[in-house]
Structure 1
Amino acid sequence: MAKPPFSLEGYKVPGATDTEQGRPYDEGETNRAWENFLTFGDLRRENAPVRGVIEDSWQRSVKSGVNAHCKGSNLVASPDDLYELRLKNDDLLGSSAETFRRVAQVLGDAATMVVITDSNGVVLDVGGDQRTIDAGHDIRLEIGAAWGETVTGTNGIGTALVTGKPVHVHAAEHFSEGIKAWTCVGSPIRSPIDGRIIGIVDFSGPQAIFHRHNVALAVVAANHIELALSEKIRIERMQLLEASISRMPGMNSADGVVILDRFGRVVHHNDMASVRWRRIAQSQDLSIGTQLVPTSEGFLVKDLARGLPEELREQRIEPLVVDGVVKGAMLVLASRPRANPAVFQMSPTAHVAVMSAKEAIVGCSEALLQTVEKVERAALGRTAILLEGETGVGKELFARLVHAASQKTGKEPFVAFNCGAVSKELLGGELFGHAPGAFTGATREGRPGRFEFANGGVLSLDEIGELPLDLQPYLLRVLEERVVYRLGDSKPRPVDVRLVASTNRNLKQEVAEGRFRKDLYFRIGVVKFIIPPLRERTGDVEVLIDHFNRQFAATYSTEPLRFEATTMELLRRYSWPGNVRELRNLIENLVLMTLTGIVTPRDLPEDFREAAAQQLQARLPAEHGPTSGEGEIARFDEMERRAIERAVANAGGNIAAAAEKLGLSRATLYRKLHQYRSRT
């Protein structure tokens, strides 16, 4: 469905009277009316120049306890809450992107910012004039801030939510004193499915920008977003139906079929489903659009069966995959009872790219698996992602997972760039490209930057904290406007890039100390993950040792190493400050340097033994004395003794079983036990 061009000719704002639209505005009179209202609780004059919609909103603001002298929003969502909100409203954000671009063309250089909020008035995205966006930070008109009437009083966003109609609030008409220098126009965005308000599109700026046609422009913008949402839903519904057809062969013709979208809503069902539904779930509605499965993430999760109403959990449910991404599910109401409860399993051929990226992230710990699942979920959106973590935790692997999980054609580029790998002078040209001869060292013909190379795909910027302050506004501009300007060139080049930034720094602290822009931090950190260090990944050390041992053995055409129990216990207890990278390098060293094929503590590199001994010294009782030289080996022997005693105890005294568990012969185990007993 083609989107109609913007046109304001003959447009009248729905729900507003001619008197309301044409009523003259007098700032001085309106201010006096506001002061009287705060003093006496009413306008005190029948002919006070205040529109009815504004007076009603002032009354609600007072009842809500809003501070009339506040400077703007005082409620801002935490990064985690904002991540959930943006993920939940991903369709709204995606459908508004094109409207943002068109509105910017209509407004030209007007000092206006465009705001998209959720159904509670929380700002999800901003666009438009950068100077106005910067000024918006002063009143907290920024991503994550709440602008409902109960928070900030009368304003275009909150009042439009309450009235359900387009609203303009001009200067002194605002209830809160701190935002009376602004004017704003808000228009509700309604769901194409059930008509409920799902967000607000708002135009805001200084008083001078106000024109009555802005109200119509806001309504047109809201309508365009609704059209884009409707088209997206229609396309996804057709894709789900096509995906479900491929699963029909082999099904019993008496089975009922219910198709759910990724929000858990019913999009289709066959006639047999209606018959069986009345028998199985008499209290449940099966009409199109019914929210059958409650989801907060905005898509179906792996344990979908547990989200079904109790009476439906014995039914079969299968994922519906479109372009390699789970977009919905098929609930089969079997004609005969099933012996096993409903399960949600991925097709073995689905998600080839995703599975490949996930296989590169080795581990089985709960901390790691939860992070992988969350990153995979976040990849379904389009917002930037920030990965924080210590050096060596594998942040680029997670960036590649985002790329794999967000692919549609399988041909989208992935470009990785380390901001700390080039000098400050060359960094701008590497990121944004440069015109011919733009600076000393620039090429004669000019060249594109990493953003252009990544167009249509994912750009992974490692060590984002190394980006100099003077380049940060350029990065922010690219993310806000979705266009890049090469250095020395005024030509805008549109780019569609998903940014995945990563850092081993605490960017929040960098912001507090003035080394990183606050607005850029909020832009790249809407969705933020902390990759767990290896010391917090219980059980992963053994898994990674086995993985790298086999990998390097194959690389160097040798047999995998065997690790003595003492050595394995030492590696397990080590804190791994260099994380997975340190472990990987150690195993490669051992594969190359170990001569016997069995790794003992003495085979470990000297610097590693020293670091491990220092850690052990802090953990073991003080009576063992300092650790160095022979004392270090003695400490390893103590660890070996503990490992052997634990293995024998776990085997119930069965020496053969304990020896097999430890990777030792029975003779060796008997000898070591004899040595320990003779010492005591």
Structure 2
Amino acid sequence: MSSEEKATPLLTLTGDYDEHKTMSAWEELLAGEDELARRQFPVRGLIHDSWKRCLTGGIDAQGREAPLFCGKDDIEHLTRSSTELLTAAHRSFSIVGSLLDGTGAMLVLADENGVLIDAIGDKRTIHDGMDIHLAIGGKWTEEVAGTNGIGTALCTGEPVYVHAAEHFCAGIKSWTCAGAPIRDPFDGKIIGVVDLSGHPDIFRPHNTVLVAAAAREIEKALVAHQNEQRTRLLEAFIAQAPFYRRVDGLIIVDHLGRAVYCNNVSAESRDEFPNSLSTGVGQRLLPAGGTHTFAELTEALPDRLRSCHIKPLTLDGDFRGAALVVPAGMRGEAIPAPRRPRWPSREATDLIVGQSEAMLTAIDIACRVAQSSEVTSLLIEGETGVGKELFAQLVHLISRGSKNAPFIALNCGAITRELFGSELFGHVAGAFTGASRDGKAGAFELANGGVLCLDEIGEMPLDIQPFLLRVLEERVVHRLGDSRGRPVDVRLIASTNRDLKQEVAAGRFRRDLYYRIGAVVVNVPPLREREGDVALLLDHFSRKIAERTGTEPLLFDANAVDALLAYSWPGNVRELKNLVERLHVLVGGEQIGVADLPREITSPQECVTPVVKSFPVGKMRTENPCNVGNAEEQALREALSVEHGNLSRVALKLKISRPTLYRKLDQFGIRRSFS
């Protein structure tokens, strides 16, 4: 097909467009009779304004193509500098691109400079696009290519379409295109354009809606990527920053010069920075203009701050950011006192007992999340027995508007794989064999308007995790066997005694789900790290049990207290509570001495469990034979190690039920986090 055939006029294609009138207006504009042309041959205001910019800018109206910004040798550098945008667009392009084959349309992606960095779609159209450099490396800003979907979208900052004769350059008038800008969610800056192009017969006014939707999907992917990058930069900093103290100021900057984390940097400290810099999260510490090196960041800092600790941060071997630590007191600032929880009520204050700094910090984070309407998910991490469920109850208790809201708790470790979907999402009648005749609401529906607590979320099967992620993203749940979506408003609290980062690295937990539920993490400290809290808890549990049973609280002599304070409490608060209950039953109101305490507390060195290594299945260790209880514990530890903590497989291997397995784990004080 010749270019003349491609450009066959389409008279009155829409109410706004007339091929003949548009061409006449363009010719009158070039002849210097702009006002007459506008009266006689009107064009859209957006097109007229763009034409005027092109005319003023000296664009060749007879141009046949866009210029090539770079050759084949420079393509690799071009794509490397746009890695973040290309990664974010990959999913949308792979889905849409496969649907465009044979349609006469192509989807292209341009960077902030209007240079094409990706193209996909109908093969013949892509081939034709090369004639006008509508291909990777071609530059399509208005300043060099005249009016077009990419350049005009960059110029106006809005989705636009440019059809056939509306292009400024004659050689491009046999094309139609619709472009939408892509904005960086971090600061709103335009970082690219997605454009749908082809010959005039593909034109539809709603093409702008399609590209605008594609741009929004890319922006969503950018949000997820930036959140992941922020978390990874924080992890990289923590891994190599032994000099950092909690009272110090900290600013973490990514490789684009953007402050992604800021803590303990007072308003007065900002006076140290030049006017072009800012320490606020979401703003730039360095001017815009691509990636920066560690040296450029260091040189941009004022002289007084160059003496601070400045650490480069690398991810996967590449420089991806830097950490600036401002030591407390460097400018005479007072060292802040530990943050105290925002207790909203007496009921909340009584829920969790503890005065150690580690515990108060965890409580404060939980209270802040509960009182915030922005954070919809919380991850609670901690060893078995530390009281993670109390933190979930605390968040529910003080959440805004949740006085009468439901609190639904679901133990992911106690549900079979077959029933997981039904328990979480519900099912309709006849959805599967054994389904309820009337259908059943799942945990999400039951918790609507309140809090859903997923305990032991690390036990959730991999094939269920994508469905959970979808519900959290869309806030709509579909019962099994039902195509109808049901909107839900649920605050999710997930808890685990596993190291989910290790689970992600091992492929046992989805990375995207981890970052979604782990927007805020509360690390509940083990009892051995809660200085001063053992005595408080002994008194608390003793009084509670005494009130319930109508007896006197226990009295501990000095030697017994010393032994209890020196014990490491592998079972944490649960172990301590069980001990107090046991002493109430066996000793009663008498004074408790060392002789009344269990041997593992008074002589811990005699009861140390050796480190259990992974052994081949079927081979039991026979060294140091001991009693039946020790052999049972050893078998349990070896099975956990071999099965990497998967409780379903451990129960199957040991030929015991899941409830029995849980009881044995608690009995021996065994944590379920294995690598």
TM-score (norm: length of structure 1): 0.43
TM-score (norm: length of structure 2): 0.44
Higher relative contact order (Cα pairs below 8 Å, separated by 6+ residues): 1
